Amino acid sequence: MLNILYFASLKEALGQAEETISATEFSTVENLINTLSERGEQWAGALLHNTNLQIAVNHDIASRDTPLSSGDEIAFFPPVTGG
């Protein structure tokens, strides 16, 4: 299983903070994003087409080509700005 977390504006746009899904079909973060984006335009805009999307796998900064394994935690969040 994969535990997926959505933060800040992504949580608002997608209407959920987290979910758990089967890990068997996802070898990379990109595979996961592609499948989630099939849920509709809101999902595609928030994840697939979002060039500023920040990703973490198991609390480490990740990229779309990061491999996934069962038990991983994947977090998606918008870019963070400081002030």
Which two structure tokens, joined as six digits, stand for 55?
């990703």
Chain centre to alpha carbon of residue 32: 7
Instruction: Give the whole-angstrom CA distance, residue 70 versus residue 52.
Output: 26
pLDDT in tens, 9-68: 999 999 999 999 998 888 999 999 999 999 999 999 999 999 999 999 999 999 999 999
Instruction: Please report whether residue 54 resides in a domain.
Output: yes
CATH number of the domain that 71 lies in? 3.10.20.30
Going edge to edge, which strands form the sheet with 73-77? 18-21, 2-6, 73-77, 54-57, 60-62
pLDDT at 79 (0 to 100) = 80
pLDDT at 81 over 60: no
pLDDT at 83 over 70: no
* pTM of the predicted structure, to 2 decimals: 0.92
Full domain range(s) for residue 35: 2-77
Instruction: Please report whether residue 82 resides in a domain.
Output: no
Instruction: Give the whole-angstrom CA distance, residue 17 versus residue 10.
Output: 8
